[in-house]
Amino acid sequence: MSKTDAAQSDLDLPAHGAATLPGVTVDSYNIEIEDDDGFVGDQASKRAFWALMDKWRKPWRKTGKDPLGKEPSEKIGRQKLAELLADGDPEAAAVVASAIDDYAHGLASVIRRYSRLKEWRKTEYLVIGGGFSASRLGKLAIARTELLLREDGFNLDLDIIHNDPDEAGLIGAVHLLPTWMLRGHDAMLAIDIGGTNIRAGVVRFGKRPADLAKARVVKVERWRHGDEDVTRDQAIRKLIGMLRKLLRWARSETIELAPLIGVACPGLIAEDGAITRGGQNLPGNWESSRFNLPSVIRAGIPQIGNEESLVVMHNDAVVQGLSELPRARNRKRWGVLTIGTGLGNARYTNRKPNGGK
């Protein structure tokens, strides 16, 4: 990822995929490390956990007595597996516990690899996001990961993202923008595009967004596109429809929206808004040189209120991690890993440590 040559001040207009944001410098994001087995981050994706569940069910299946039955692990779901771990038969609980432990070793291995990179050195604090992190299974796996790292002498605090993982990628969008652009408004529109789901929401921050710590999602539209066979253009039309619905709702609630739309999207984001790499899990070709997502959104939503709309886009892990910025002010160097279809990553250095100006 290339960094912009000049530092962006709070008075500058925001840029797509910017390295310098009002509160942080984005040291790196969307790093893809490969070894003989493929991408290192795949060891800590959602798919990796379900594969480990199947691995530990296999010995029982050979006996014809799988304690979890015939249903695929992913269909059983995280909640049911957590119940089996707590109160299920010992054989079923042992399968779940073994998968959690293997997953924790995989996640710890990924963190060790990132920590050796120049851009990730001296990371003090790492927050884990994504839907898996919010489940009981995910929390146990993350706690086990921190224990493994501390056993190895890593002085790194791990934490679970504090906002709802489904909303963190929307809330983080307010930190893409200098606060002067938000003043005088109640809220803004935000979009979080993932490999399985697309979410659009109204993020409220109040008339005086001093530190944005109270930003929250007050209305959200969700669409699980991963369950449908859709083209890129169909996905965009659906997204524009979601935004228009939110605009109507905001008017009905007399919420004054800023003429801004923040977008979190997978991949490397160029300064012109092009997705140069990493959009392979999205429906259709989002990396085409003839496709520019911010321009398409702006064409669909040309105005908000009486003003022209401005669209600002960044990587989805970067934006999700930014939702933690108010809590990470006392750390100089910190990062985020988002557990989803893949493993998103970003590392930051605070520009305003301890909330200072």
Give the up-direction half-sphere exposure of residue 306: CA atoms within 13 A in the CB hemisphere.
0
pLDDT at 213: 87
pLDDT at 151: 94
For 256, phi and psi rounded to 5 degrees? -85, 105
pTM: 0.89
Q: Are 347 and 29 in contact (CB under 8 A)?
A: yes
- Exposure letters 288-299 (e unless 16+ CB within 10 A, then b): eeebbbbebbbe
Go through the chain and tell me how many residues it has: 357
pLDDT in single tens digits along all 357 residues of the chain? 444 433 444 446 789 999 999 999 999 999 888 776 767 778 888 889 999 999 999 999 999 889 999 999 989 989 999 999 999 999 999 999 999 999 999 999 999 999 999 999 999 999 999 888 888 999 999 999 999 999 999 989 999 999 998 899 999 999 999 988 998 899 999 999 988 899 999 999 976 655 688 899 999 999 998 888 899 999 999 999 999 999 999 999 999 999 999 999 999 999 999 999 888 888 889 999 899 999 999 999 999 999 999 999 999 999 999 999 999 989 999 999 998 877 899 999 998 644 444
Q: Helix, strand or coil for residue 338?
A: strand
Longest dimension (CA), the chain: 68
Q: Are 128 and 337 in contact (CB under 8 A)?
A: yes
pLDDT at 354: 44
C-alpha 4: how far from its chain's center? 23
Q: Helix, strand or coil for residue 88?
A: coil
pLDDT at 11: 45
Q: Helix, strand or coil for residue 353?
A: helix
